[in-house]
Amino acid sequence: MARTGKSEYKISWVTACSVMALSLVLLLVLLVLGAGAWLREVQLFWRNAGGYPVWLREMVYYWFFPWYGLSLVLLCFWQIFVLQATLRFRRAVIPCYLLSAFYWGIFCLISYITLENNILNLINGRAFHAH
């Protein structure tokens, strides 16, 4: 079979749409996780004086760490998907690598927000999540 000079490895519409869908879902999960991490560190959020609804406090209290685990699993799937796409198309998929770095950066920032106050509390002899 003669080569025409064009790449034999073209990205299909299905692949492009799945990349966009997975990327948007991952961004939404990270945004919700970031909001939860910020709310966990606001002192007025855990008191009735803050004006936050009780259902929101309960949702952050019970669902933050499962949501954290879900985001970590989705990030790992995203990274595997990007690596497989690179191997399949035999070229670096630079926008996907930039998105990966951005998403991992957001996740590390959320992890820092979540753990910073708690580690300081443990060092100072207070309860794990004391304000």
Judged by average pLDDT, the poorest of 31-35, 37-41, 44-48, 61-65 is: 44-48
In this predicted model, what pLDDT tens digit does every residue of 88-124 receive, in sequence order?
776 657 787 888 899 999 999 999 988 887 888 788 8
Contact 75, 93 (CB under 8 A): no
The ranges assigned to domains in the chain are 23-123
Q: What is the reported pTM? A: 0.77
How far apart CA 77 and CA 47 sit, in angstroms, is 37
| Neighbour tally for 112: CB within 10 Å | 10
3-state secondary structure of 21: helix
